[in-house]
Chains A and B, each alone.
Chain A
């Protein structure tokens, strides 16, 4: 090969490599950290991402998937080091902390830049007048009732008030046969039982644990009466044993195995329960309210929320992905495969029409309102854990209700100063 040929080859390679760089610069890879993919049927979420990539040439989505708790730790570590993925799956309980740290992008600005009409969004998690998280799909927590046990106990109507619930729980309890009326998970590892199984009683009767953005536990009749109600159930021996170290998955296990008559649980577990025990007959009903309350019932919920990292260099592209997931069509499909209620008001998941249980749940969802006051609070999980400590002392008889609520209020206020 002559010198000229070699020179030409080298120049050509150089030109091509520059071309390669410029082509590489045109394409964007978005990192999307979430816990959703492992919780969906295999390949379903990736298929949605492939569809997004087809619609948006030049944008590639790299899914960073892991279990819920691992994802949280990853996001915390990413927030601390400024290496957060471009798009992140969020729980409402984490939002306040990340906003205070400045690690989330202001979605209000991104929506305005993209001229996005937010009227289709069912909810937006806002702080300081800006949106930081959008719930993509919602998992509501109604009461699951074991119909076989209910029928065997001679209970004709599902409980709608606290008194009826207490009566049904007592009737269902059969200690000899190891069957209990209700189940209450209060693990310190996963203190979300305080949100889903304890405070939900307050919200179901239209009550609130907050006032003017601050904790309002002391001298709050709604909170006090709910706590006394749960303590009465606990003292009556109608709650399945092992509450203080029980986690949500243990609760589902107890119900699935027919050892518990009623539990408050996410709709996301319907298929899991059916898979584990196909013979189990169960129904869904709204959380009972205090006697005489006829207003709308607050339904505890958990969301798969979405946010964009402040440190992302591709915020506009990241917003395109958010917009894609929130579109009526994609949101319907995601809700359908996740067995969740949509975050887009115009989306309708398939299961509402094909599954009787989900249809009942949808009715409960439509007649009530989503209530989870821990969403957006600072160190929300820690608030649950601090309340849990006091609540366990109360259930154990070491504290009176007022004392317990005063201690919890004092512990909480530190985080609001």
Chain B
């Protein structure tokens, strides 16, 4: 380590002191440069655009407008609907992902089924995670088509009297894309929970059984508390990811019919690439960033608490 210290042979103590202070920054500089180029500059630029008018696709000079873009967008009913839909999509997805992920993880962790069946279920259950968003969108567009397999089966078994327009109905579109998002995302929870379950010591369950605990009590007082750190982290990450979900919604409903499944990401895309309102798109992006930062702060605090 001695060779890493600054030993320039300089007889100037203040200069030596300064150099010593700068050394840590020199070591950090690759990371700092990357962070600046990949994070700070883009975020700063978007923040700057959100305070301006006439940016990017325009031949008139940009004008500083302060927070008026924010005031305009926060009073815009279309934006508020997109925000509401985003929250519905994110909250419903997180809750359903958690329940389904835990259910399937427990199923795969049980001793009731044999190793071959377990391996088979693992492959089947993880499949949605393997597909890209575009494949998932195409697959579910075909399945949920009025002439698709879903309607066919529901009609055959008498659950519905006529074909349902899952993605074309204003009442069902948001629910349908939420369902697709749940289907696409639960394996991530499942795999994480499975890893967590396999890390719980059997001693705890045996001790519980000796104390007379039944299956529900074992789950409530041993499994859940043991999984809690994973559970909270996953929920927060999933919330952030789902609020950024774009491809799946864009390729299934495009935010429609009308604006029934419009979310912040599709709203931002339309503002930027079809209206060329890059200032408003930047404003929406900053609000979205604030929303996810709020959750991210909780996530970091939670991680720190776990470390302590």
Contact = CB atoms under 8 A, between A and B. Distances in A.
Contacts, number: 85
Contacts of A244: 165, 167-170, 256-258
Interface stretch (B56-64, B96-104, B212-220): B56-64
Interface residues of B, number: 31
A186 B253 CA distance: 10
A101 interface: yes
A242 B145 contact: yes
A246 interface: yes
B59 A100 contact: yes
B173 A245 contact: yes
Please report whether the interface of chain B is mostly helix, strand, loop or mixed according to DSSP. loop
Nearest to A97: B276
B259 A389 contact: yes
Nearest to B262: A188
Counting chain B CB atoms within 10 Å of each CB, the highest count among A80, A178, A244, A388 belongs to A244
A73 B273 contact: yes
Contacts of B173: 245
Interface size grouping (class) on chain A: 20 to 34
B175 interface: no
A178 B162 CA distance: 11
Contacts of A178: 147
Nearest to A389: B258
Interface in A355-408: 379, 381-382, 385, 388-389, 392-393, 396
A241 B57 contact: no
A187 B278 CA distance: 23
Contact of B254 (A72, A80, A189, A242): A189
B253 A101 contact: no
Given A97-B57, A101-B57, A393-B258, A245 B273 contact: no
A243 interface: yes
Interface string B232-270: 000000000000000000111111111100000000001
A102 interface: yes
B48 to A, nearest CB: 15
Interface in B10-61: 56-59
A215 to B, nearest CB: 16
B163 interface: yes
B274 A245 contact: no
B174 to A, nearest CB: 12
Contacts of A389: 256, 258-259
A190 interface: yes
B275 interface: yes
A188 B255 contact: yes
A245 B255 CA distance: 9
A396 B274 contact: no
A259 interface: yes
A49 interface: no
B146 interface: yes
A80 B57 contact: yes
A158 interface: no
28 contacts: A76-B57, A79-B57, A80-B57, A80-B278, A97-B276, A100-B58, A100-B59, A178-B147, A188-B255, A189-B255, A240-B146, A241-B163, A241-B165, A242-B146, A244-B167, A244-B168, A244-B256, A245-B173, A245-B252, A245-B254, A245-B257, A379-B274, A385-B274, A389-B256, A389-B258, A389-B259, A392-B256, A396-B170
CB-based closest 8 A-B pairs: A189-B254, A188-B256, A244-B257, A188-B254, A244-B168, A241-B146, A245-B167, A102-B59
Interface of A: 72-73, 76, 79-80, 97, 100-102, 178, 186-190, 240-246, 250, 259, 379, 381-382, 385, 388-389, 392-393, 396
Interface of B: 56-59, 141, 145-147, 163, 165, 167-170, 173, 250-259, 270, 273-276, 278
